[in-house]
Amino acid sequence: MSKEKKRTMGEYLVAFMRLITPFWRSKESRSCRFLLLMVFIFSGLSVFIAKQVNTWYNDFYNSLQEYDIDAFWSEMVIFCVIATFHVYVAVTNAYVKQKIMIEWRHWLSTHFMRKWLSNGVFYKMQFSEAQTDNPDQRIAADLDEFVSLTFSLTIEILTSLAMLVTFFSVLWELSAAVDMHIGDTVIHLPDGYLCYLAVIYAAIGTVLTFIIGRPLIRLNFRQQRVEADYRFSLVRIRENAESIAMYRGTKEEGVYLEERFGQVVKNVYNIMLKSVHVGFFSLSYNQASVVFPFIISSPLYFAKTITLGSLIQISSAFGRVQDSLSTLINNFASLARWKSVIDRLVQYNENMEEAAGITTIPVDEAGTVLAAEGLSITSPDGRQLMLDGNFKLRPGDAMLIRGPSGCGKTTLFRTLAGLWPYATGRINYPLGEVLFLSQRPYIPLGTLRRAICYPHAPLPDHVILPVIEQTHLGHLVQKLDIEGNWGQILSLGEQQRVAFARAILLHPQVVFMDEASSAVDEDLENSLYTELRNHLTSSIIVSVGHRSTLKRFHNCCLEWAEDLNWNMVDSAEYAEDGCFTDKKAVPDEHMDDESFERYRAGSVYTKEHTESGRTSILRRLLEFLGRDGR
């Protein structure tokens, strides 16, 4: 579970800029740079329009005060022109802003997804010190909020600064030095007195709002996490609906969901409470700002020092200055949410970089052998799982990895896949494709044809249909091109048959199989392995399994030992232990190409292996002894 990391202001700004700058430095942002220039121009025009409206207030209200009907209609025409221009600028500016935001979000989402998926970062993040909760939430929701809030708040702040500069000068001109008489008291007001009052008023409001609303930053950070946790819990129930139903676990799942949602509700109430405090203050502050300039200027109006138009213009200009200075107050809730989004994305980005720095055994690709040399593996807590493991497999070899549960067989697979960071040694893959089949195969969304051919493009019927029949999936032929969540539709046994079909179709150079047939019965397992060996005669197969029936499909075995020195059992010893082979093992260092081919020729599997394991083994041993006797 991730926690908010404390940073200095300098560290925070550097991390923030690392989120901002990549897009705007990229080639893809060229059009957006032009659009951004248009936004600045339109924002400048909106400031110009606001100044014209402020001047219009003076002229319009003076025409009312003087009962000048001609001036009144003249000002109405001027207002229509200004309003039309304002509508065009506002609507066009909004469209351009949305265009920039969607382009920025598109690029940023792609950038984060590639960073997350590259070099196994999405897998390695579980090994980093600060684990990231709900990375899908960061990419899907947080990036959206980051772009929209960053862009809208930045433009609003810049526009407010332009408004401040423009109307500060207007307000300064309207607040020339004057003596204000209140009863017998005379108060001398210096030049720009309204400007000074606006700055003091906004400064007090900003400081008090920050003090009152500061907890909202932490609560918004937590809200995004608990909402994502709750959504993830709902998705987990949907993905495991059958298992939960069979366990009759609906009551327990309901309790768990209520606990998750209870955290959402509790945090929402905390946000509501703090928002009420901020709302009471900010609304009172904004309401007071409406009458504050009238209170200051009304004595001058009643003393006939200024006109009604000047009074309204002062109120409008003061309101603009005060709004510009109060941007932080008016947007405090958005700023708090923005800060929490930035914290989450900065932390996510740092965790991805940390995960990218986690090293695993580099996998070399050369020659035709699969080899491991000096392989030592530990668990994350430092428990040793393997010491100095060594093996070498050539095309056509099939090795079975055996050992008690928890000894590290699956971890060995992860190490061979180049995923496990707690390992040392050397690994070499043969040139060609490598395929890993897990106990629960990955079934992508889409058509069944796409799922069977994954990760390659879908294949035509004349290629795929024979393999479907051979892997006992003939009943699904009519559903090949139907879209669906096949990971939920198919049983685990059917999913494992899909994985076997995938291996046969892709014809990889190496196939790693981790309990890949555990959900099918022994007869079906026998048939699937037979088809696999018949089709992949030159491929290297490495299997993890507990069933003794798997022995007959492998010509060597890597066995766990209590001293953690896993033993590579050659084919002769393995035959004595029940594995099928009709050739004595020839050590690699003494095996030339000719003898190797003869050795391999005697290891071709046929449908004879569908017979009972023991009968087949004894028959072939007797045949071997008979040939040897001749």
Q: What is the pLDDT of residues 467-484, one digit of tens each?
A: 999 999 989 999 999 988
Give the CATH number for residue 489: 3.40.50.300
DSSP 19-88: HHHHHHHSGGGHHHHHHHHHHHHHHHHHHHHHHHHHHHHHHHHHHHHTT-HHHHHHHHHHHHHHHHHHHH
For residues 284 and 399, state if they share a domain. no
Mean per-residue pLDDT for 541-553? 85
- Residue-level pLDDT at 411: 87
Count other Cβ atoms within 10 Å, centred on residue 16.
Answer: 17
- Residue-level pLDDT at 570: 67
Helices 143-174 and 30-65, packing angle to 10 deg:
40
Higher pLDDT pick, 215 / 584? 215
Largest CA distance in the chain: 136
For residues 309 and 216, state if they share a domain. yes
- Residue-level pLDDT at 558: 85
- Residue-level pLDDT at 465: 92
Give the CATH number for residue 186: 1.20.1560.10
Whether 609 is in a domain gets the answer: no
User: How do residues 362-401 score in pLDDT, each as one tens digit?
Assistant: 888 888 889 988 888 888 888 888 888 888 889 989 998 8
User: How do residues 92-127 score in pLDDT, each as one tens digit?
Assistant: 999 999 999 999 999 999 998 888 888 878 888 877
Binned at pLDDT 50, 70 and 90, residue 165 comes out as: confident
User: How do residues 274-311 score in pLDDT, each as one tens digit?
Assistant: 888 888 887 888 788 788 888 877 777 787 777 888 88
Asked if residues 217 and 336 have their Cβ atoms less than 8 Å apart, the reply is yes
pLDDT surpassing 70 at residue 270: yes
Specify the DSSP element, H or E, that contains 219. Answer: helix 215-239
Higher pLDDT pick, 220 / 48? 48
Please tell me the distance from the alpha carbon of residue 92 to that of residue 40, in angstroms, as a whole number: 12
User: How many domains are contained in the chain?
Assistant: 2
Mean per-residue pLDDT for 350-357? 84
Higher pLDDT pick, 258 / 548? 258
Whether 624 is in a domain gets the answer: no
For residues 423 and 446, state if they share a domain. yes
Binned at pLDDT 50, 70 and 90, residue 617 comes out as: very low
Binned at pLDDT 50, 70 and 90, residue 595 comes out as: very low
Whether 141 is in a domain gets the answer: yes
Last residue of a domain, one of 324, 356, 388: 356
Whether 473 is in a domain gets the answer: yes
Whether 626 is in a domain gets the answer: no
Please tell me whether residue 437 adopts helix, strand or coil conformation. strand
**428 has which bridge partners?**
364, 371
What's phi and psi for 388, nearest 5 deg?
50, 55
Higher pLDDT pick, 539 / 323? 539
Last residue of a domain, one of 356, 388, 416: 356
Last residue of a domain, one of 325, 356, 387: 356
- Residue-level pLDDT at 190: 79
pLDDT surpassing 50 at residue 620: no
Parent domain of 508: 364-570
Read off the amino acid at residue 453.
C
How is residue 303 written in tokens? 């003393």
How would you label 328-353 residue by residue, b for 16+ Cβ within 10 Å and e otherwise? bbbbbbbbbbbbbbbbbbbbbbbbbe
For residues 152 and 174, state if they share a domain. yes
Asked if residues 131 and 125 have their Cβ atoms less than 8 Å apart, the reply is yes
Whether 629 is in a domain gets the answer: no
Mean per-residue pLDDT for 414-440? 87
Which segment, 183-187, 363-367, 425-429, is predicted with the most confidence on average? 425-429
- Residue-level pLDDT at 541: 92
pLDDT surpassing 60 at residue 573: no
For residues 81 and 190, state if they share a domain. yes
Long-range contacts of 471-480 (CB under 8 A, 24+ apart): 471/497, 471/498, 471/500, 471/501, 471/504, 471/528, 471/531, 472/497, 472/524, 472/527, 472/528, 473/497, 473/498, 473/501, 476/448, 479/448, 480/447, 480/448, 480/449, 480/452
Whether 289 is in a domain gets the answer: yes
Asked if residues 133 and 430 have their Cβ atoms less than 8 Å apart, the reply is no
For residues 351 and 402, state if they share a domain. no
* Strands of 211-305, DSSP E: none
Whether 625 is in a domain gets the answer: no
Indicate the average pLDDT of the chain: 81
- Residue-level pLDDT at 172: 84
User: How do residues 470-528 score in pLDDT, each as one tens digit?
Assistant: 999 989 999 999 988 888 888 889 999 999 999 999 999 999 988 888 888 888 999 99
For residues 131 and 170, state if they share a domain. yes
> Which residue shows structure tokens 């292996």?
609
Please tell me the distance from the alpha carbon of residue 446 to that of residue 55, in angstroms, as a whole number: 62
- Pick from 600, 504, 475, 608: which is nearest to 552 by CA? 608
For residues 304 and 448, state if they share a domain. no
Please tell me the distance from the alpha carbon of residue 251 to that of residue 257, in angstroms, as a whole number: 10
How would you label 611-623 residue by residue, b for 16+ Cβ within 10 Å and e otherwise? eebeeebeebeee
Binned at pLDDT 50, 70 and 90, residue 610 comes out as: very low
Please tell me the distance from the alpha carbon of residue 197 to that of residue 188, in angstroms, as a whole number: 14
Please tell me the distance from the alpha carbon of residue 135 to that of residue 145, in angstroms, as a whole number: 15
Asked if residues 519 and 545 have their Cβ atoms less than 8 Å apart, the reply is no
Please tell me the distance from the alpha carbon of residue 66 to that of residue 59, in angstroms, as a whole number: 11
What's phi and psi for 175, nearest 5 deg?
-120, 60
What's phi and psi for 455, nearest 5 deg?
-95, 20
pLDDT surpassing 80 at residue 329: no
pLDDT surpassing 60 at residue 326: yes
Binned at pLDDT 50, 70 and 90, residue 257 comes out as: confident
**426 has which bridge partners?**
373
Residues in contact with 345: Cβ distance below 8 Å, sequence separation at least 6, in sequence order: 19, 138, 142, 143, 146
- Residue-level pLDDT at 603: 36
For residues 172 and 55, state if they share a domain. yes
Residues in contact with 373: Cβ distance below 8 Å, sequence separation at least 6, in sequence order: 390, 425, 426, 427, 428
For residues 327 and 371, state if they share a domain. no
Residues in contact with 173: Cβ distance below 8 Å, sequence separation at least 6, in sequence order: none
For residues 384 and 349, state if they share a domain. no
Mean per-residue pLDDT for 71-89? 92
For residues 451 and 344, state if they share a domain. no
Mean per-residue pLDDT for 610-616? 39
